[in-house]
Structure 1
Amino acid sequence: MIEAALRPTSIAELISWALAGRLGSEAATLRASTAFRTTYGTQHVGRNRHYRNEVLSIRVGAAVGSCGLEPHTAGADLIDHCVAATVADLLEHPVAAVRIAALDAYLMHVRPHPHAGGAHGAQLVIDGPTSLTKSRRRASAVIDLLPPTTTKVLVVGVVGSLLAELRARAIAYLPCDHAGGVTEWGEPVFESVEQAPTDYDALLVTGMSLGTETFDELRATAMRHGLPLVLFAQTGSAVLPWFLGAGVHAVSAEPYPFFSLDGGPSTVVAYRELS
């Protein structure tokens, strides 16, 4: 088994550890029993913005791993190709979303929450009578992971409730999302990190950066400038805690099913940098 103090330097290295059996069960001996795509739209009552999301999920044993998808990028053929495949094969799949969903499932299998990556997370129950209430409470839990001295955040992956919580706390932000456009408050959204000003003192980044293969670059940016990197992860919730103490300050880990898909209580695991 891996020593708790040893951290991977990239997603590719973490995948290589899984393939080499360094993290637990041999990936070649495990198979995906189920693969499925979740497509859903959300507009909270009282909000004026509609979101549409697609997620690829893969089940290994009792564990389900997930990766967000760009719309219409995962058809039935891709789903069928994942079913009954070995985890080793899926970790070397040409589609990044398959690799990440498989890695997430594998790591959930060998080191499940609340001990992903050898860390010890705090389990938080997110509940509420409406989807907006749950969204606000989840947002509060995420923003709590930022250092208390934070004054301006680069937000990669625009989520309305997260921006609303930052506004409520008088924390400035620079919204960044490849989709561009404007926020609910009419603020322009930068289409890339390179377009955004650099006067931020923390990064708040979606786990979808794993699926877009930009996580390693964002982590390197945070490390290069000595800035805290906080991740809100539905994609790769069991993957990202492995980088705590190696450029990652904290992770809000939210395994499938996500808070917006369940009317009852949901559990989010809050991980902080390893001491």
Structure 2
Amino acid sequence: MTANASASAESFKTVDQLIDCVLQRHFGIDPRELPVVGAFEIDQSTQFPGTEQKYRNYYLLLRVNAVFGGCCVEAEQLEQVAARELVGQSLAALLEDARLPVRVAALDAYLGVVLPHRDDHRARELELPYGTPFTRAVARDKAIVSLLAIEPDQAVGLIGVVNPIVQAIEARGARCLPCDFNMQRTAGGLVVQRDMRPVLEQADFIIATGMTLSNGSFDEILAAARRRNIPLVVYAQTGSAIVPRFLGQGVSAVSAEPFPYSQFSADPTAIYLYRAANP
């Protein structure tokens, strides 16, 4: 991390404050000098063999230099975005766009250019193996679980449900409090809450997805973790370059997975695991 980046890391508590730091060139490179050379939208569905669960995911991706900025969104959010309108614009312009997913994807792209994971001494690179979507998902979820220092009898808030993580929580003798907009029950039958606020107040430990950036709930989760002084672990495809900037500032650990995400490639790809020095 550069001196400027290190200094600015202590000056923000929210995503909007981080965006302001970028626009004020605290990270060295002017976002006005970084044009978007490619933009695309993905509507993706997944159903693993032998299961009944169908997953629907929608993504906005921005290509800047050698980096993709990524944001997973709700279906109605993607309908508000026309990727062709974003091409050719500078990241500075998109960081001030009225649409939150556009700002998140632009911020992710900028930080991916300026502070790549491979140059961050805090990051441990892990290669996901060649294989099927299921094989690669299992390897990814195992890596996420490796970050979880969960104690027996803890109440663990899971904001964005991934069934293997539910199983990992329960295997450690903890109680899972699942929360998700798009699921009613976990594979094991737990009722999934839509409102995260009671979960944030009851949990002794919080696990959240990077999609909380695109739906605007990340700042509230981060503030709750700070206020209650409880661990927060984030598994981030969305905002994989954003969430590590909050490491030690409320975030205890991150599994950061830049594009191409595991489900979009059979070839080996990297994820980056971060832990705060003083979680």
Q: TM-score, normalised by structure 2?
A: 0.91
The one-letter amino acid paired with 1:213 is G
1:59 maps to 2:63: yes
Task: Give the counterpart of 1:231 among 222, 231, 234.
Answer: 234
Aligned partners of 2:109, 2:248: CA distance in 1, in Å?
22
The answer for unaligned runs of 5 or more in structure 2 is: none
Aligned partners of 2:142, 2:118: CA distance in 1, in Å?
19
For residue 251 of structure 1, give the secondary structure of its aligned residue in structure 2: strand
Aligned partners of 2:24, 2:70: CA distance in 1, in Å?
22
What residue is the counterpart of 1:26 in the other structure? 30
Moved more, 15-24 or 197-206: 197-206
The one-letter amino acid paired with 2:93 is D
The one-letter amino acid paired with 1:181 is Q
Q: State the Cα distance separating 1:107 from its structure 2 match.
A: 0.4
- Identity among equivalent positions (%) equals 34
Aligned partners of 1:196, 1:244: CA distance in 2, in Å?
22
Aligned partners of 1:77, 1:244: CA distance in 2, in Å?
30
Task: Give the counterpart of 2:128 among 121, 126, 136.
Answer: 126
Aligned partners of 1:180, 1:53: CA distance in 2, in Å?
13
What residue is the counterpart of 2:250 in the other structure? 247
Aligned partners of 1:115, 1:170: CA distance in 2, in Å?
37
Moved more, 211-220 or 132-141: 132-141
Aligned partners of 2:176, 2:98: CA distance in 1, in Å?
35
Q: State the Cα distance separating 1:126 from its structure 2 match.
A: 1.6
Q: State the Cα distance separating 1:186 from its structure 2 match.
A: 1.8
Task: Give the counterpart of 1:154 among 154, 157, 161.
Answer: 157
Moved more, 171-180 or 22-31: 171-180
Q: State the Cα distance separating 1:131 from its structure 2 match.
A: 2.2
Aligned partners of 1:220, 1:74: CA distance in 2, in Å?
27
For residue 4 of structure 1, give the secondary structure of its aligned residue in structure 2: helix
Q: State the Cα distance separating 1:148 from its structure 2 match.
A: 4.6
The one-letter amino acid paired with 2:117 is H
1:107-127, CA deviations, whole angstroms, 9 ceiling, x for partnerless residues? 0011111345xx520001122
The one-letter amino acid paired with 2:213 is L
Aligned partners of 2:275, 2:82: CA distance in 1, in Å?
35
Aligned structure 1 segments of 4 or more residues deviating by more than 4 angstroms: none
Going from structure 1 to structure 2, the CA distance change for 1:230 and 1:218 (only over 3 Å counts) comes to same
Residues 150, 172 of structure 2: 8 Å contact kept: no
Going from structure 1 to structure 2, the CA distance change for 1:176 and 1:75 (only over 3 Å counts) comes to closer
Moved more, 34-43 or 128-137: 128-137
1:196 maps to 2:199: yes
1:139 maps to 2:138: no
Matching of residues 1-80 of structure 1 within 5 Å: 1-4=3-6, 6-7=9-10, 8-75=12-79, 78-80=82-84
Moved more, 178-187 or 61-70: 178-187
Aligned partners of 2:5, 2:197: CA distance in 1, in Å?
36
What residue is the counterpart of 1:166 in the other structure? 169
Aligned partners of 2:230, 2:177: CA distance in 1, in Å?
15
Aligned partners of 2:74, 2:37: CA distance in 1, in Å?
24
Going from structure 1 to structure 2, the CA distance change for 1:148 and 1:75 (only over 3 Å counts) comes to closer
Moved more, 165-174 or 35-44: 165-174
Task: Give the counterpart of 1:271 among 248, 270, 274.
Answer: 274
For residue 196 of structure 1, give the secondary structure of its aligned residue in structure 2: helix
1:126-163, CA deviations, whole angstroms, 9 ceiling, x for partnerless residues? 22643222222211111111225363310001122322
1:215 maps to 2:218: yes
**Across the two proteins, how many residue pairs are aligned to each other?**
273
Aligned Cα RMSD in Å?
A: 1.9
Moved more, 137-146 or 3-12: 3-12
